[in-house]
Amino acid sequence: QVELVESGGDLVQAGGSLRLSCAASGNILSINVMGWSRQAPGKQREVVATMDKGGRLNYLDSVKGRFTISRDNAKNAFYLQMNSLKPEDTAVYYCHAHITSQLYANNYWGQGTQVTVSS
């Protein structure tokens, strides 16, 4: 039914930038909350950034001032702009969203995209 497809991960040098994209498809009535999480090998998954449909934002402390979440409602898409990347940002990044579709409201996850930041 509803699917999230993400892209944009890459290998970059420290100090570089990337933009991750997440596109939602299916019978979508509304995207209620959208966000990005990441997981490094051997570490717990952590929420990086979220935005609700009213535009309220939350960021992980370690990415404040460097990462920005944004959305394009017409495309049912949202993004994570990552600037001043550090090696500790290396992880698999997952987009996720709480979406109302037909009679259902559920959490959905993208497939993950690898971000690797070299020194």
Q: Quick one: pLDDT at residue 90?
A: 98
Q: Quick one: pLDDT at residue 7?
A: 97
Q: Quick one: pLDDT at residue 102?
A: 85
The Cα-based distances of 47 to 38, 40, 50, 91, 118 in angstroms read: 7, 12, 8, 12, 22
Give the model confidence (pLDDT) of 31-81 as tens digits: 999 999 999 999 999 999 999 989 999 999 999 999 999 999 999 999 999
Report d(CA 20, CA 7) in Å as an integer: 6
